[in-house]
Amino acid sequence: MNDTALEQDIYLFHEGNLRYSYQLLGAHRDRQNGEEGIRFGVWAPNAEQVSVVGPFNDWDGRKHRMERVNDEGLWFAFIPEVDKGMIYKYEILTPHGHLRLKADPYAFSSELRPDTASKVYPLDDYEWKDKEWMKDRQSRNIYESPISIYEVHLGSWKYIEPEVFYNFREYADMLIPYVKEMGYTHIELLPIMEHPFDRSWGYQITGYFAVTSRYGTPDDFKYFVDQCHQQGIGVILDWVPGHFCKDEHGLRRFDGEALYEYANPSKAEKTQWGTLTFDFARNEVQSFLISNAIYWLKEYHLDGLRVDAVASMLYLDFGKEDGEWELNEYGGRENLEAVSFIKKMNEAIFEEVPNCLMMAEESTSWPLVSSPTYIGGLGFNYKWNMGWMNDMLKYMETDPIHRKYHHNLITFSLFYAFSENFVLPISHDEVVHGKKSLLNKMPGDYWQKFANLRAFLAYMYAHPGKKLLFMGGEFGQFDEWKDLEDLDWELLDYDSHAATKRYMEQLHLLYREMPSLWELDHKEEGFFWIDAQNYEQSIVSFVRNGRTSQDQVIVVCNFTPEVYHDYKVGVPKQGSYKEVFSSDAEHFGGSGQINGVGLDTVPVPWQGQDQHITMTIPPLGVSFLKRTSANKEEDHEE
């Protein structure tokens, strides 16, 4: 890096506008005075002295002291004898005269826990082979494409033994064929940044730029993503910019003072989680976080980030009691600095990685989360639909006898379904800490639990919005998620679980082959009710539209165990309809109450439509119907 470029990067870093600060700071191969070595850089404005220490100097801070290059606290050092794989830390002399050993905030790799040193690991040794995927991604319309996400915690998907995990390359060999077989379009990984405590699931981070050593090296993770792309699978990563853990070797009071966190404890403390909030107003922290998002998207070719706990960033009183927080300058509870940062972050990300996915886990009714910043939005392009998730799980947990009293829970989401670009999430948070597994939430006997699960999943895939399902749900895991054990794969030896897995495979096939189920996900013309009012029988019916008249599907859902023969359903077009998918088919474990012959329309108005069909409504079942032929007059008109 020449002096002019270095000065420019330093200026942008302190302005909060250096989008690639990980190229300035951290440990990088360099050549100085004819010698090959590693250049180290760190931001520690309050430090009296900073040294690089490790086995190469017997952890002696007197041997490789860093040079402070400006008043804003950037320190650099060049060490010839250090190369890839060497471990190191920064020894920091605080303003109070204490020596602290800190991991590098910009390290690309770390020691395996419980050890905490950073590792030198240049990122330019891997040769990518996903050019076709990356090229196609540039022109892909993500809004009008099928997106079905398999959410995975690698360490408990499969492991060698408790606390001993497979390598990313081994997971690639096992997980990718499974995801392809199931029919998902994307894998979403719980955070794989370096974290000290397994049971934080990666959400309490110490190394924001470091791939966790639990599963291998940065190159191993690149291989995993590369293989996903070559097999047609996108990769989304959970990302946690809202808070960080307090472990001594991490970011907390990095140079002896509050640096990455707010100095004001009422803003810094996340008492609910025992973590610290980033100081979103500090320019260098903005450069750190924005660079971190871009780093994962660019260096690892990721297709998107799911941004964790956005509400905790937006609200000063999130998870706090009265007296534990302070109003903003306008007397409100919004964290105005965080709002400004989020907008700036998203603007930067979409300029650098235009067609990526930025998905907000935002649990409140904050407006325009997935709208551009130029119209006042936060700038994400997707938002998790937590309202739909809460309503539907509450409804499905209700005994079918009482569901008629809660009918609004399955219809209310359509009042706001097009106010944001939504993902329908059934995530890890809903199947842990005593909440029961998705299957075990379902009421009824053994057969009814599986039938309820199939009906719920069919309704989910028919409802507007992209889809996300946590691992284990696809084959009906009976126990809730056990984060210290792997999934109960032995359940697939039992017919009902094997049939549920087969059901999800076929549901995904249907989903991907029917543009009406995803092409107009975010537009009102993609959906209309046929009948949303039949609360007495807990039956709803609706139409999903694609861009052409042929891409239309009628969906009929029955959330009771009653069978109804000769049931009238209004349809928008004349002709003959075929049941192309039924959650009650016998090979899925259903009762076999299917409509095996064509359903011809009767020219008598019903449910607001000009004609209707008469069909069998299966128990706890969902039917997908497509028109297969029309009368001659309509054929001529079309």
Catalytic residues: 308, 361
With the C-alpha atoms ordered 107, 111, 117, 120, is the resulting torsion angle positive or negative?
Answer: negative
Helix or strand (DSSP H, E) at 599? strand 599-600
Kindly list the distances between the CA atom of residue 551 and the CA atoms of 19, 232, 546, in Å, as whole numbers in the listed order.
43, 24, 5
Dihedral Cα 504, 505, 510, 511, nearest 10 deg: 70
Residues 322, 426: Cα–Cα separation, whole Å: 32
CA angle 625/629/632 to nearest 5° reads 145
Amino acid type, 227: Q
The closest of 390, 56, 120, 101 to 255, measured between CA atoms, is 101
Burial class for 155, CB neighbours closer than 10 Å (0-12, 13-18, 19+): buried
Find all residues with CB under 8 Å of 631, minimum gap 6, and list them: 574, 575
Q: Which residues contact 478 (CB under 8 A, 6 or more apart)?
A: 437, 439, 440, 488, 491
- The runs of H, that is alpha helices, within 442-566 are 446-462, 495-513
CA distances from residue 194 to 326, 339, 519 in whole angstroms, order as listed: 32, 26, 38
What is the identity of the amino acid at 100?
Answer: R
Angle between helices 218-230 and 131-139 (to 10 degrees): 60
Is residue 93 within 8 Å of residue 48, measured between CB atoms?
yes
- Spatial CB neighbours of 456, under 8 Å, sequence gap ≥ 6: 392, 396, 438, 442
- Answer yes or no: are the C-beta atoms of 158 and 177 closer than 8 Å: no
457 φ/ψ angles, rounded to the nearest 5 degrees: -65, -35
The Cα 367–Cα 595 span in angstroms is 43
SS (H, E, C) 389-439: HHHHHHHHHCCHHHHHHHCHHHHHHHHCCCCCCEEEEECHHHCCCCCCCHH
Q: What is the DSSP letter of 463?
A: S
Nearest CA-CA partner of 182 in 541, 603, 512 = 512
Distances (CA, A) of 186 to 10, 171, 575, 581: 37, 15, 37, 23
22 — phi, psi (to 5°)?
-70, -15
Sign (positive/negative) of CA torsion 430, 431, 435, 436? positive
Listed residue (491, 546, 562) closest to 513, CA to CA: 546
Q: Provide φ and ψ at 118, rounded to 5°.
A: -85, 160
